[in-house]
């Protein structure tokens, strides 16, 4: 991809796609497949097959609905809103099928290990890195156990790094509510992780 191609805004790429340029959509897919997958993967509690199917459906939906896309709203907002809706619908139907489905901590770490690439390199010595990895696994498992409303907020802000204004548009609440839900999510996580964090801090 040339440097110039990268500088074209998402909204321009969508306009190009609307005018029949399929490559523009390919670029959008390549740009967003990883962050969107990362979000949905954790939204569906590490169910890789489900996340992959959802990813496909989300981008097909985007392609299909592209003619209704208005550049007034940011492309990423629109994309994540569609991704979120797909996740919530999936969770709802899964919940209906299986009344209770919480992925155990053991399964979580299995899943984490089986993922491809993008693992952060350990910066410190091995001992610290392993400890850190354990902490991350614990955090991952606890995010997985959060109620959906808080899980999506935490993932969108702390993991995907989206600002509250955009998250508010994605989750259809106002920015203050988004912020409050995020704080609550963090407090819930803190409650679960306090014992581990305190030992860490003192070590």
Partner 1 sequence: MKKNAETSLLRGIDSLAGQLPGHSPSTEVVLRIKKAIYKKATPERKTEFAPVMDMNELSDFLRVSKETIVEYFDEIPSFELGGKILFLRKSVEKWIETKETNFGRAAEWANLDMAGVDRLVTQQIQ
Q: Going residue by residue from 72 to 101, which x/- string records binding to partner 1, judged by CB under 8 A?
A: ------------------------------
Instruction: Please check whether residue 193 is in contact with residue 139, taking contact to mean a CB–CB distance below 8 angstroms.
Output: yes
Is position 136 an interface residue for partner 1 (rule: CB under 8 A)? yes
What's the token pair of residue 171?
Answer: 């989750």
Q: Which of residues 98-127 bind partner 1 (CB under 8 A)?
A: 112, 115-120
Residue 195 has which token pair?
A: 């014992």
Whether 40 contacts 151, CB under 8 Å: no
Q: Which residue has the tokens 């390919």?
A: 26
Distance separating alpha carbons of residues 81 and 77, to the nearest angstrom: 6
Distances (CA, A) of 14 to 19, 27, 70: 9, 10, 9
Stretches 6-14, 78-86, 87-95, 187-195: which one binds partner 1 (CB under 8 A)? 187-195
Q: Would you count residue 199 as binding partner 1 (CB under 8 A)?
A: no
**Site residues, partner 1 (CB under 8 A):** 17, 19-20, 22, 25-26, 29, 33-34, 37-38, 41-42, 51-52, 55-56, 59-60, 63-64, 112, 115-120, 132, 135-136, 139-140, 143, 154, 158-159, 161, 186-187, 189-190, 193-194, 197-198, 200-201
């Amino acid at each position: 991809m040339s440097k110039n191609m990268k500088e074209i805004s998402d909204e321009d790429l969508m306009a190009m796609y609307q005018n029949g340029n399929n490559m523009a959509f390919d670029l959008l897919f390549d740009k967003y497949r990883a962050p969107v997958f990362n979000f949905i993967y954790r939204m569906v509690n590490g169910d890789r097959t489900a996340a992959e199917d959802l990813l496909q459906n989300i981008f097909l939906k985007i392609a299909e609905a592209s003619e209704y896309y208005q550049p007034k709203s940011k492309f990423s907002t629109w994309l994540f809103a569609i991704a979120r809706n797909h996740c919530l619908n999936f969770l709802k139907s899964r919940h209906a099928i299986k009344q209770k489905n919480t992925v155990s901590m053991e399964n979580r770490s299995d899943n984490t290990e089986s993922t491809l690439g993008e693992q952060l390199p350990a910066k410190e010595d091995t001992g610290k890195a392993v400890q850190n990895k354990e902490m991350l696994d614990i955090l991952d498992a606890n995010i997985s156990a959060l109620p959906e409303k808080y899980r999506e907020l935490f993932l969108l802000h702390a993991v995907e790094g989206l600002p509250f204004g955009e998250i508010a548009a994605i989750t259809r609440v106002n920015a203050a509510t988004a912020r409050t839900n995020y704080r609550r999510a963090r407090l819930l996580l803190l409650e679960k992780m306090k014992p581990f964090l305190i030992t860490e801090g003192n070590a």
